A and B are shown apart, each in its own frame.
Chain A
Amino acid sequence: MKRNRIPQFFIIVGAFLLLLAVVLMLDNVPGVPVMLLIVLRKGAIYALVAVSMNILNGFTGLFSLGQAGFMLLGAYTYAILTVPVENQALVYQRYPNGGIGFSVTESLGRVLGQPGLLLGVIICLILGGIVAGVFAYLIGLPVLRLKSDYLAIATLGFAEIIRAVVQYEKLGPITNGSNLLSNFTNFSNFHLGSLKLDTVMPFVFAGVCIWVITLIINSTYGRAFKAIRDDEVAAEAMGINLANHKRMSFIISSFFAGISGAMLAMYQASVQATIFKAAMTYEILLIVVLGGIGSISGSIIAAFLFVGSSEWWLRFLDNTTVLPNFNAKLLFAIIFAAIVVSIVFLVVYRQNKAQKSRPEAVGRGRKILSLKLSGVITLVVGTLLLLGDLRFLISPDLQVPLLRSGFRMVVFSIIVMIVVLFFSRGLMGDRELPDLFRTRHKRL
Chain B
Amino acid sequence: MSDNVLKVENVTMQFGGVVAVDNVNLEVNAGEIVSLIGPNGAGKTTAFNVITGVYPPTNGVVYFEGKKIVENYPRGKMKKLYKTENNGAYTHAIEPTPDKITRMGVARTFQNIRLWSSQTVFENILIAKHCRVTAGLLSATFRMNKLEERRQREECDELLRILGLEGVRNELATSLPYGQQRRVEIARALATQPKLLLLDEPAAGMNPQETQELTAFISRIRTDFRLTVFIIEHHMALVMDISDRIYVLDFGKLIASGTPAKVQNDQRVVDAYLGVSEDA
Number of interface residues of B (CB under 8 A): 44
Instruction: Provide the residues of chain B in CB contact with A220, threshold 8 Å.
Output: 129-130, 133, 135, 140, 145, 149, 152
List CB contacts (< 8 Å) of A334-377 with chain B.
none
Instruction: Provide the residues of chain B in CB contact with A443, threshold 8 Å.
Output: 118, 120, 172
Instruction: Provide the residues of chain B in CB contact with A442, threshold 8 Å.
Output: 120, 170-172
Chain B residue nearest to A251 in the complex (CB): B137
Is A219 at the interface (CB under 8 A from chain B)? Answer: yes
Chain A residue nearest to B126 in the complex (CB): A223
Is B213 at the interface (CB under 8 A from chain A)? Answer: no
| Interchain CB contact under 8 A, A216 and B141 | yes
| Interchain CB contact under 8 A, B119 and A226 | yes
| Interchain CB contact under 8 A, B99 and A230 | no
Is B97 at the interface (CB under 8 A from chain A)? Answer: yes
| Interchain CB contact under 8 A, B172 and A444 | yes
Instruction: Provide the residues of chain A in CB contact with B130, threshold 8 Å.
Output: 220-221, 223-224, 227, 238-240
| Interchain CB contact under 8 A, B192 and A230 | no
| Interchain CB contact under 8 A, B143 and A230 | no
Beyond A215-B143, A216-B141, A442-B171, whether A236 also contacts B127 by CB under 8 A is: no
Is B12 at the interface (CB under 8 A from chain A)? Answer: no
Is A248 at the interface (CB under 8 A from chain B)? Answer: yes
Is A141 at the interface (CB under 8 A from chain B)? Answer: no
Instruction: Provide the residues of chain A in CB contact with B140, threshold 8 Å.
Output: 219-221
Closest beta carbon of chain B to A271's beta carbon, Å: 29
List CB contacts (< 8 Å) of B81-118 with chain A.
97-100, 102-103, 107-108, 110, 114-118
Chain A residue nearest to B122 in the complex (CB): A1
Closest beta carbon of chain B to A430's beta carbon, Å: 7
List CB contacts (< 8 Å) of A68-122 with chain B.
none
Chain A residue nearest to B173 in the complex (CB): A230
Bound: A243/B99 CA distance, A = 10
| Interchain CB contact under 8 A, A239 and B114 | no
| Interchain CB contact under 8 A, A215 and B142 | yes
Is B131 at the interface (CB under 8 A from chain A)? Answer: yes
| Interchain CB contact under 8 A, A231 and B117 | yes
| Interchain CB contact under 8 A, A239 and B192 | yes
Beyond A230-B116, A442-B172, A443-B172, whether A240 also contacts B137 by CB under 8 A is: no
Closest beta carbon of chain B to A231's beta carbon, Å: 5
| Interchain CB contact under 8 A, B116 and A234 | yes
Beyond A236-B99, A238-B102, A240-B99, whether A227 also contacts B116 by CB under 8 A is: yes
Is B128 at the interface (CB under 8 A from chain A)? Answer: yes
Is A320 at the interface (CB under 8 A from chain B)? Answer: no
Bound: A236/B172 CA distance, A = 21
Q: Which of B108, B119, B131, B175 contacts A240 (CB 8 A)?
A: B131
Beyond A220-B130, A223-B127, whether A237 also contacts B116 by CB under 8 A is: no
Chain B residue nearest to A219 in the complex (CB): B140
Instruction: Provide the residues of chain B in CB contact with A384, threshold 8 Å.
Output: none
Is B7 at the interface (CB under 8 A from chain A)? Answer: no
Is A36 at the interface (CB under 8 A from chain B)? Answer: no
Closest beta carbon of chain B to A428's beta carbon, Å: 14
| Interchain CB contact under 8 A, B131 and A238 | yes
* 5 A-B contacts (beta carbon < 8 Å): A224-B130, A230-B116, A230-B118, A238-B128, A239-B132
4 nearest interchain CB pairs?
Answer: A239-B131, A239-B102, A230-B116, A234-B114
Q: Which chain B residues have a beta carbon within 8 Å of chain A's beta carbons? A: 52, 54, 97-100, 102-103, 107-108, 110, 114-120, 123, 126-133, 135, 137, 140-143, 145, 149, 152, 170-172, 175, 188-189, 191-192
